[in-house]
Amino acid sequence: MDFNLPEDNPIYHAAWKHLTDTSHLLGRYGFRTNEPTYEYYFKQFTFHEGKRGSQWNGPSWPYQTSQAITGMANFINSYDQDILTSTDYLKSLRLFTRQHYLPDGKINLVENYDPNLGGPIVYFYWSNHYLHSSYNNLVITGLCGIRPSESDTLTINPLIDNSIDYFYLGDVSYHGHQVTIVYDKDGKKYKMGKGISVLVDGKKAKLEKKEGKIQVYIGEPIVNKVSESKENYALNISKNAFPKLSASVNSQQDSLLQIIDGKIWYFPEITNRWTTFGSQKNADWLEIDFGKVHEISMLKIYPFTDHVTFEIPENLIVEFQTNGEWKPVQNQTGKLIGNTANSFQFDKVSSTRFRISFKHSSKQVAFSEIEFY
């Protein structure tokens, strides 16, 4: 249904009733993966540390929920049916939204949930931030109603009812244009008039109605040539011999390889980083050997900070090896900020080996990834 493949036939339409029926796929706290009439519904076969494990015989899974809600939007938009309404869509989206919050109020979509009792079923360190659910798309193409196509005219059909007073979806890149959609039930929130307003490249667009949906002329696509990406010489996804790393502390390869594997994240629960944890010094270094000479003029580094154990270094110096000696690069510029990309530019230099030296007198240091260009 995500791709409008089933025939527009009332025989098939009836299946969608299962998503609005609490005796079938709709639980009090979300969609079920199997209906209660299934022989093995919620029969627990797997356990982890004495707790329920991952199963697909009834629990509510964000991955499948997002597919089902996407299908609902397409069914409402593309089929001649009287089974689902915008209210049904919003009810499902709201249930799914609540699943993104743990019982302590923190935002953290985990692996799966109990659709009958509420709360997560599998909530272990590996299931934190289980963000493959396409939630944003459910808001953009469903609730706010952007229905993309190859045409120069955009169809907009927000799936809203009287429970929605307003929304603002700004600067969506569409066919090279910037599109903003504003809904204001009474016109008092955004002062742009009642109902839907659309801005294309900052200008208010003329709206037309066709088959109950809003049509907006966008214009010819604007194609921007994408510049070729520079090669990151530090990347080593396949864990080949080169490039290879060494460090003043925690020099185990399984730890070091995590910062040149192309994965960048800052989750405290799921680690993918190298750290100076345990270092008794206030200065440490990290060295990379490319195995051959490269011309380098930029370092990108991604520090992880939690302000408890790990903090950004007090300073950072990029060095290169020449004739067996370490020398600092010239005209280095850049600054350090935690949990984001940090770029350091310097005069181009050719070498096989580079080193990152830094001080950390008060806290330890952790890097999620390093890149050399």
In this structure, are residues 159 and 142 in contact, taking their beta carbons and an 8 Å threshold?
Answer: yes
Q: What is the DSSP letter of 88?
A: H
Q: Residue 77's closest CA among 138, 161, 159?
A: 159
3-state SS, one letter per residue, for 213-270: EEEEECCCCCCCCCCCCCCCCCCCCCCCCCCEEEECCCCCHHHHHHHHCCCCCCCCCC
Residue type, 14: A
Is it the case that residue 1 has pLDDT exceeding 70?
no
pLDDT class of 102 with cuts at 50, 70, 90:
confident
End-to-end CA distance of the chain: 44
Give residue-wise pLDDT tens across range 211-234: 999 999 999 999 888 778 899 999
Is the pLDDT at 2 greater than 80? The verdict is no
Evaluate if residue 322 carries a pLDDT over 80: yes
Q: Does an H or E element contain 64, and which?
A: helix 62-78
Tell me the average pLDDT across 132-156.
94
110, 130 Cβ separation under 8 angstroms: yes
pLDDT band at residue 323, thresholds of 50, 70 and 90? very high
Identify the residue with better confidence: 198 or 227: 198
**What is the C-alpha separation between 193 and 185, in angstroms, rounded?**
9
pLDDT confidence bin for 93, thresholds 50/70/90: very high
